[in-house]
Amino acid sequence: MAALTEAPPPLAPAPEAKPPRRRGRWTPYWLLLPGILWLLVFFAMPMIYQASTSVQTGSLEEGYKVTWHFATYWDALSDYYPQFLRSVLYAGAATILCLILGYPLAYLIAFRAGRWRNLIMILVIAPFFTSFLIRTLAWKTILADSGPVVGALNTLHVLDVTSWLGWTSGDRVLATPLAVVCGLTYNFLPFMILPLYSSLERIDGRLHEAAGDLYAKPVTTFRKVTFPLSMPGVVSGTLLTFIPASGDYVNADLLGSTDTRMVGNVIQSQFLRILDYPTAAALSFILMAAILIMVTFYIRRSGTEDLV
C-alpha cells in the first residue's frame, strides 16, 4: 500500500468532479466471509471452549465450573512429560525419515520422470484413497512376527542391532518404537513429497545449465542451486509432517505397546476413559504451545521467507 500512495505520478484526474464510485470495495471481504465464519465456528470457538475447560474443576455429577485452576497445566506436564518427549522424538524421527525418503523421489518426479511423472504422482497419492486406519492396520500384517519382513531382518541380524539400540525388543518389530516410527513415516510421506515436488518443479532448468557452464560439479549444483531453491518445499513439507505426526495416536495405539504411548494417546485416554476433561484440554494446549514454539524457532532458523 505504501508503494501505491507514494507513487510519484498522480492518478489521471477524473473528467468530472464526482469522485469515482468505488465499486467492489467490499467484495474481497464478502468473499472472505465464508472462510472467516468457518474459522470462527470450527477453530476459534472450540479453542475458547477448550481453553475454558482446561481451567475448570469439577466432576461429571457436579458439573464443571471455571475456577482458574491453572495447576492442571503443571500437573499434566509433570505427569506426562515422558509422553511429550516421546511424541517430539517419534515425530521428529518420522519427519527426518520422510525427508530422506521423499526428497529423492520428489527430485525424480520433478526432473527425471518425463512421461512417467503423472503415474508416479498417482502412486504417491493412491494410498490416500483408503482409510488411514486400514493403511495402519496393513502394517500389522506386513510386520507380523512370522511374516517375511521380520524373518529377513532376523536372518540378517538387523534386529539384534535395533534391539541393542532400544528401537525394537527381541526378535519382533511390531509393538516397538520402530514400528510406530515406521507407521508415522509411511502415513505422512505424501505430505512431505507434495510440497517438495511443487517447489522443485518450479526451479528453472536453465539455472542448472548455468551452473554447469560455470563448471559446477553436479554435487555443487545441488548444494548451491537446487537445494536452496527447494527450501520452501523442505520447510512446508517438514511442517506438514511434523505437526500432525506429533499429535497422532493411531500409530502408537495399533503398532506400539505400553512404552510407546504418545501424548495423543494420553489426551484420548484422559478425555474418553478417565473423563478428566480439564487435564485433556490442558494437555492439548501444552501440545499446541510446544509445537508453536518449535515451529517458530524452526522457521526463523531455516531462513526462508516463502512457505509455498
> Residue 118 or 141: which CB sits closer to another protein?
141
Residue of 33, 36, 51, 125 interacting with another protein (CB under 8 A):
51
Interaction between residue 160 and another protein (CB under 8 A):
no
Note whether 259 binds another protein by CB under 8 A: yes
Of residues 64, 111, 167, 222, which one binds another protein by CB under 8 A?
A: 64
State the minimum distance, in angstroms, from the CB of residue 50 to another protein: 8
How many positions of this chain bind another protein (CB under 8 A)? 67
Among 53, 72, 87, 187, binds another protein (CB under 8 A): 53
Residue 24's Cβ-side half-sphere holds a number of Cα atoms within 13 Å equal to 2
304 binds another protein (CB under 8 A): yes
CB closer to another protein, 67 vs 220: 67
Q: Does 17 bind another protein (CB under 8 A)?
A: no
Q: DSSP character for 12?
A: P
154 binds another protein (CB under 8 A): no
Query: Residue 61 or residue 213: which is nearer to another protein going by CB?
Result: 61
Coil, strand, or helix at residue 42?
A: helix
Task: Say what the alpha-carbon torsion angle 266, 238, 124, 149 is, to the nearest 10 degrees.
Answer: -60
Backbone angles phi, psi at 302, to 5 degrees: -70, -15
- Answer yes or no whether residue 219 interacts with another protein by CB under 8 A: no
Q: H or E stretch including 58?
A: strand 56-59
Nearest distance in Å: CB 13, another protein: 11
Q: Record the cell numbers describing residue 172, joined without a space.
A: 519382533
Question: Element (H or E) spanning 190, and its range?
Answer: helix 177-201
Query: Do 187 and 235 touch, CB atoms closer than 8 A?
Result: no
Distance CA 248, CA 250 (A): 6
> What does 264-301 look like in DSSP terms, one character per residue?
HHHHHIIIIIS--HHHHHHHHHHHHHHHHHHHHHHHHH
Stretch binding another protein (CB under 8 A), from 8-16, 90-98, 119-127, 215-223: 8-16
β-strands 56-59, 63-66: how paired? Answer: antiparallel
Binding-site ranges for another protein (CB under 8 A): 3-4, 7-9, 11-12, 43-44, 47-49, 51-53, 55-56, 58-66, 68, 83, 137, 140-141, 144-146, 169-170, 172, 174-175, 254, 256-261, 265-266, 268-277, 292, 296, 299-300, 304-308
